Amino acid sequence: MTAPDPMYTAFLNMLETKTPVEAIKDLQAFGVPAENIESIRLRFDAETQQIKELDEPRVVALDGRTSWYTGPRANDRYWPAVEKLLKADGWTDGLDVLDDSSTRVVSLLNHPKEKTFRSRGLVVGHVQSGKTTNFTAVIAKAADRGYKFVIVLSGIHNGLRRQTQRRLEQQLVEPNPGYWHPLTTLDQDFVPTGNPAGFFGPSSKNVVLCVVKKNATRLRKLAAWLAKASKHLEDTPTLIIDDEADQATVATKTINPLIREIMNGLPRSVYIGYTATPFANLLIDPSAADLYPRDFVVSLKKPDGHFGTEVIFGRDAVDGEEADDVWDGYDMVRTVEDGDVPLLRPMRRVDVDGFAPTMVPSLRDAVRYFLISTAARRVRGGGNPHSTMLIHTSVNTAVHLSYRQPLLDLLAETSAGLSEPSFVEELRHTWESECEAVEAAEFGEKPVPFDALFDHLPAVLKSCRVIMDNSSSENRLDYESGPVVAIAVGGNTLSRGLTLEGLSVSFFVRAVSAYDTLLQMGRWFGFRNGYADLPRIWMTAELESWFRHLAVVEHEMRADIDRYMTENLTPTEFAVRIQTHPALLVTAAAKMKDAVPASASYGGQRLQTHYFHTDTDWLGENIKAARALVSAAEAEADDHRVEGAQHVFTSVPHTAVLNFLSKYGFHKKWAIANSQLLSDYISKRVQDGELKRWNVAVIGNTPTGANDFSFSDGVTVGLVARARLDNTEAHVVDIKTLMSRKDAAVDLPGNYGRATEHDIFLARATFAPDTPLLVLYAIDKDSKPGTKKSEKSRKPLGAEEHVIGVGIVFPSAVGADAKANGYVQADLSGVGELEEEDLSILEADE
């Protein structure tokens, strides 16, 4: 990816349907200065030659985006080794998802043979969902294509760095000895070695791997070491993976500048942040010299079998959803009474010294359930051999230590109680009631009778250890020396990245104040193969409500992120919106100091349909809906203005638009909206006195009689051409772009042929601040690619009937929808001139 140039980007987009010579002529017609055109011509010639030298086809690979990377090749070395190991570990269906998602990420990287590049992206996963495996796959595929240096910034704790180092050694280094050169080891973080220049440069055959903790001392040493090899780094394409990218990376006085210093010393580098809690990363000031993911943001799909926020806690319905249609979560959460919290953790700092926890009934129930559920897993056999319980009440290590003896006493008491019939009946009742709450059959598991698990209880109790896992403890969790049964008491070292193997019970009453902190402490998220019916969580009712709120936040955030692919946007054109909460911060105050309020839903947005079915019935219904809307506009609009092939109706009642939306079919792959979502949103704003009158436009080509389409007797236009992308499935077409930028101002006075997005926004705010716009397009069912070049990425539309496309431009919200206590987003106002929109569609539109 060369440095963005709006005019050059527009030129490249025009090549979708035109030859270079035709595109140059169009630029001349648009009034582009001759010196700019010559610069474009020279740059295009140079890049065309470069593409030939790269020996990679420049094709449409994913979601309508051009990319040099089309997936693994038969002669690859590193990805096949990873794939083989994962298959041996039992990966089946999940391997295809991993292959697809990692290919999607690599397709967004720069080609390693480009002369210079410094790109920044973000990959958003789910807590405990296999982010490490994903970036391992990305590293392998990038190395297969020629990336020669990999830096992994692995959290701020030694435990996570060791865990990551071990994983990368097992899956990358050991299967290909002699092809990797690790600079770090399991027990040794980065330490400078002699002659750094010897590791890099064109003659270097090995891939250099460095797994570094985000520690200022280590990063300074790495930056200084790399500075000594600066000339050789010019020929070293580098991939930087920032694991837990929201932690320490954003808004820190030491770590953040050091990461940027390292990047500045790498002239051919891509930085990718990985996190499940991207709130801080998405709120960085995009105009600052910082780590805002300006080039791409990707949301990984939730893997099958993953326990996430919504699965456990459920969520409330969002706009356009019925409450009965939204999952309410499994019955896995148990309540800790508010009155018990002061008995479980000190409420003030002065109370830490001498604090002694009370084994309140909820904690006793949690421990005993952990023991009997562990015994049940032994009856079943298979699955994860480890079984862990987490107790997280405080970050203070002294508080952790205070739990050791009471827990040991409780285990001894439980062991002694196994000979008491009344106590055994209590355990039986606990087990049977929990089995009724969450049935094993829901997860394809066999129910375990209490009598069968009871026989295993003595052995479980004998093997159960109480471990204080924190920054000062010496006896830490160790899953490498055989099966573990452990009650782990800890704080921050257990709340980031580190996997608690076989976690089945969590007792959580930690006080928190921010979304990202809360989610990262949820170690109960993840995979529970073989015991998916058994996990339980004890927490206060308030904490449970917060997690349920976070399920909504995540749902809406990921929907926004998906827009980057489905709408072909970049993070400098559209900022992800994050819903706020009256009692919680989105992230630490310092990390969101540059955030600005954002309106919910569709306020201030421009929407355009680009997915369509191809069958006659579906398309025919949309044609009927469009003709009904135009007829209503002719009858009820204040004015009907005709300019060439453009018809504009002003002040059309919203009822006509709602009637159209109730009949028009939106393809389900267009995830941004549907009839119900849009209708509900409009109706709510109408109640606030907004969106009552609309402008409706019909845009096409000049009618010639041979290729015309009639919306009504008085509205006939020439069909527009929109060829489909070559990567869409049968009976579904994706045209990528329907609406040109200037079409968003078709109802405004003035000429907007070369206007930027910002220009259009200002014009609408000036001339139509409260008026929404709906635009209709009639697309030729036989639309074909315009040039031989575009035939590589596009195919004839191939619809059975003409296609009706819809564009909607909403004004910024001014009523209840725009309240500050709603959403925040990054401030894009200082980004500067945004890249020109896809202009390839203009070849057929007048």
Instruction: Kindly state the percentage of the chain with pLDDT values over 70.
Output: 87
Question: Checking phi first, is residue 354 left (phi over 0); if not, alpha (psi -120 to 50) or beta?
Answer: left
Of residues 219 and 565, more confidence is placed in: 219
- Taking the alpha carbons of 184, 189, 195, 199 in that order, is the dihedral positive or negative? positive
What pairs with residue 242 in β-bridges? 153, 273
Q: Whole-angstrom Cα distance, residue 585 to residue 589? A: 7
Instruction: Kindly state the percentage of the chain with pLDDT values over 90.
Output: 51
Q: Give the tens place of pLDDT for each residue, 88-137.
A: 988 877 898 899 999 999 999 999 988 889 999 999 998 878 889 999 99
pLDDT over 80 at 835, yes or no:
no
Q: Using DSSP, state whether 630 is helix, strand or coil.
A: helix
Q: What is the mean pLDDT of the chain?
A: 86
Least confident of 10-19, 414-423, 449-458: 10-19
Least confident of 205-219, 295-309, 351-365: 295-309
At 378, which amino acid appears? Answer: R
Measuring CA to CA, which residue among 114, 48, 140 is closest to residue 269? 114
| Residue showing tokens 């270097």 | 204
Whole-number Cα distances in Å, 387 to 390, 506, 535, 567, 657: 10, 12, 11, 44, 57
Q: Whole-angstrom Cα distance, residue 173 to residue 779? A: 53
pLDDT over 90 at 372, yes or no:
yes
pLDDT band of 205, cuts 50, 70, 90 = confident
Of residues 338 and 64, more confidence is placed in: 338
Terminal-residue alpha carbon distance, the chain: 32
pLDDT on residue 143:
97
Q: Give the tens place of pLDDT for each residue, 254-293.
A: 999 999 999 999 999 999 999 999 999 999 999 888 999 9
pLDDT on residue 327:
79
Ordered structural domains, the chain, with CATH: 6-54 (no CATH), 64-304 (3.40.50.300), 315-548 (no CATH), 606-843 (no CATH)
Report, as an integer, the average pLDDT of 702-715.
92
760 class by beta-carbon count within 10 Å (0-12 exposed, 13-18 middle, 19+ buried): buried
pLDDT on residue 2:
39
Quick check: 478 and 484 in contact, CB under 8 A?
A: yes
pLDDT over 70 at 778, yes or no:
yes
Characterize the bridge pairing of strands 715-718 and 596-598: unpaired
Most trustworthy range by pLDDT among 78-82, 491-495, 580-584: 78-82
E-strand ranges in 724-839 read 724-725, 732-734, 773-779, 794-795, 803-809, 823-825
pLDDT over 90 at 243, yes or no:
yes
pLDDT band of 568, cuts 50, 70, 90 = low
Q: Give the tens place of pLDDT for each residue, 18-66.
A: 677 777 888 887 778 888 888 887 877 666 555 445 555 443 334 445 5
Q: Whole-angstrom Cα distance, residue 743 to residue 703? A: 18
pLDDT on residue 474:
67
pLDDT over 90 at 321, yes or no:
no
How much of the chain is helix, strand and coil, in % rounded to 5?
40, 20, 45
Cite the DSSP H helix spans in 184-283. Answer: 216-227, 230-233, 255-264, 279-282
Helix H or strand E segment including 374: helix 361-380
- C-alpha angle with apex 92: 159 to 306, nearest 5 degrees? 55
What pairs with residue 66 in β-bridges? 60
Quick check: 797 and 779 in contact, CB under 8 A?
A: yes
| Residue showing tokens 């002061």 | 342
pLDDT band of 157, cuts 50, 70, 90 = confident
pLDDT over 90 at 490, yes or no:
no
Q: Whole-angstrom Cα distance, residue 647 to residue 245? A: 50
What pairs with residue 149 in β-bridges? 208, 238
Q: Whole-angstrom Cα distance, residue 298 to residue 306? A: 19
Q: Whole-angstrom Cα distance, residue 170 to residue 176? A: 10
pLDDT on residue 210:
97
Report, as an integer, the average pLDDT of 479-505.
80
Q: Using DSSP, state whether 147 is helix, strand or coil.
A: coil
Q: Give the tens place of pLDDT for each residue, 351-360.
A: 888 899 999 9
pLDDT over 70 at 687, yes or no:
yes
At 286, which amino acid appears? Answer: P
Q: Give the tens place of pLDDT for each residue, 169-203.
A: 999 999 999 999 999 999 999 998 888 888 887 77
489 φ/ψ angles, rounded to the nearest 5 degrees: -110, 125
Residues of 238-263 as b/e, b for ≥16 C-beta within 10 angstroms?
bbbbbbbbbbbbbbbeebbebbbbbb
pLDDT band of 739, cuts 50, 70, 90 = confident
Least confident of 467-476, 580-589, 753-762, 812-821: 812-821
Q: Whole-angstrom Cα distance, residue 699 to residue 718? A: 9
Quick check: 212 and 190 in contact, CB under 8 A?
A: yes
Q: Using DSSP, state whether 587 is helix, strand or coil.
A: coil
Measuring CA to CA, which residue among 321, 453, 309 is closest to residue 377? 453
pLDDT band of 790, cuts 50, 70, 90 = low
- Taking the alpha carbons of 347, 353, 359, 365 in that order, is the dihedral positive or negative? positive
What are the residues whose beta carbons fall under 8 Å from the beta carbon of 187, sequence distance 6 or more?
162
Q: Give the tens place of pLDDT for each residue, 423-436.
A: 999 999 999 999 99
